[in-house]
Amino acid sequence: MEDQPGKLRTVWRELTGSPYGISRAVNAAIVALQRKLRTEYLVGMPTHIAIEVTNRCNGTCMLCPVAEGRHSRPLGHISWKAFRKLVDEISAYARFVGLYNWGEPLLHRRIYDMIYYVKARRIYTKISTNLHAFHARDAERLVETGLDDLAISLHGTSEESYQAYQPHHRLDGVLRKIKAIAEARSRLGSKTPNIHLGFIVNRHNEREIGKLRQLAESLDVDFYLEHTSLNLRLLPFDRNMNRREAGEAQLCRERLASIENWLPRNGGHVFSWYQYIRDHDGRLPPVGKWYKCIAPWYQTIICWDGDVNLCCGSFDRRHSVGNVFEESVRKVWNSRLYQAARRSIRNRRRSSDPWVLCNQCPGILL
């Protein structure tokens, strides 16, 4: 927790550090108010924006739909020109930009220019990466972009647990790269990026949390624990995201098998929904039970092809709520579908449109 003078310093820096400081602060205040009122049409614009620079991935993460070979939209990457236009457009209100969604950001050949471009507009910037495409010789280059937050998908502190989640990749190589980045940061006397080891707690690594703490300390980085998403919401669909032939009894069996294979035994690291499913023979609880979500009031996800998703759990292209290459971000932010999503959350009432994702969402990344 930051102390009070530290907080004031941060607010002051944000206000004065960019020509957009004041407009971002006013926008954030409007967003906070609208979030409380839960209005459907929003005057305030999203403060947190993810830009998926590419949806290609070189990872093999066992619980990721991309690595599973699921296809929703074609694979590709955003062009440098479209990226700059987009960042120019959101600069007046965005306070946080994450340059990733589905896919590996370091596969975009202009990723360093992109981070630099966002940072030049004094926007807090983050990437999440598996580091497989990273070369240790680029460590200083990465630090010099000004990136604020670097999350590294690690998910294991031994080759065995690491490879249980990311087969065909080696932990020792990734650790060498992390060390190179932390050393470059200290060599350059830079406070950034904050480096975090992301650790999805699962059946294979749950006994390693103490070791993770030691590892992070020895590398001079932080870590965070994440609840596993089993992506059960995608089970009824085939690789092309078309409904497959599977009855409820079969889906129940598949849900239980996934829970048995992956969920940690320690319930403290498990979304309560999964416990419900385990205790009810694989059946899903009624939608709305634990439903709380504020995402469509302050954040948005822009895919590489301009399509806009409601949250990072949205995978199917048909759930997109607009396209920012065809219309302005402001227009999409208040599109019919975006408003329907907000209405669906506020009223817990089925919207008439079958593609409003929030209608069926339990409020976690199921």
Ligand X SMILES: C[S@@+](CC[C@H](N)C(=O)[O-])C[C@H]1O[C@@H](n2cnc3c(N)ncnc32)[C@H](O)[C@@H]1O
Contact residues toward ligand X (CB under 6 A) are: 57, 59, 61, 63-64, 100, 102, 104, 128-130, 151, 153, 198, 200, 226, 228-229
Minimum distance from residue 244 beta carbon to ligand X (Å): 20
Cα distance between residue 128 and residue 115, in whole Å: 12
Between the alpha carbon of residue 210 and those of residues 67, 151, 207, 217, 267, the distances in Å are 28, 19, 8, 11, 17
Minimum distance from residue 226 beta carbon to ligand X (Å): 5
Host H or E run for residue 127: strand 124-129
Cα distance between residue 338 and residue 41, in whole Å: 9
Minimum distance from residue 301 beta carbon to ligand X (Å): 11
Nearer to ligand X by Cβ, of 21 and 198: the residue is 198
What are 49's strand-pairing partners?
97, 300
Nearer to ligand X by Cβ, of 93 and 223: the residue is 223
Nearer to ligand X by Cβ, of 21 and 236: the residue is 236
- Start-to-end C-alpha separation, the chain: 30
Minimum distance from residue 169 beta carbon to ligand X (Å): 11
Nearer to ligand X by Cβ, of 102 and 117: the residue is 102
Nearer to ligand X by Cβ, of 130 and 314: the residue is 130
Two tokens, residue 21: 């400081």
Answer yes or no: are the C-beta atoms of 82 and 325 closer than 8 Å.
yes
Minimum distance from residue 216 beta carbon to ligand X (Å): 15
Nearer to ligand X by Cβ, of 144 and 226: the residue is 226
Minimum distance from residue 211 beta carbon to ligand X (Å): 18
Sheet containing strand 299-302, strands side by side: 222-226, 194-200, 149-153, 124-129, 96-98, 48-51, 299-302, 308-309
Cα distance between residue 27 and residue 21, in whole Å: 10
Two tokens, residue 41: 């049409």
Helix (H, G, I), strand (E, B) or coil at 149: strand
Minimum distance from residue 59 beta carbon to ligand X (Å): 5
Nearer to ligand X by Cβ, of 102 and 298: the residue is 102
The CB density around residue 299, as the number of other CB atoms within 10 Å, is 18
What are 223's strand-pairing partners?
197
Answer yes or no: are the C-beta atoms of 184 and 192 closer than 8 Å.
no
Minimum distance from residue 55 beta carbon to ligand X (Å): 9
Amino acid at 303: C
Nearer to ligand X by Cβ, of 57 and 241: the residue is 57
Q: What is the DSSP letter of 150?
A: E
Answer yes or no: are the C-beta atoms of 28 and 47 closer than 8 Å.
yes
Minimum distance from residue 200 beta carbon to ligand X (Å): 5
Minimum distance from residue 277 beta carbon to ligand X (Å): 16
Nearer to ligand X by Cβ, of 34 and 101: the residue is 101
Two tokens, residue 321: 């709520």
Alpha helices in 77-134 (DSSP H): 80-90, 111-120
Nearer to ligand X by Cβ, of 31 and 114: the residue is 114
Q: Tell me the HSE value of 357 on the side-chain side, using a 13 A CA sphere.
A: 24
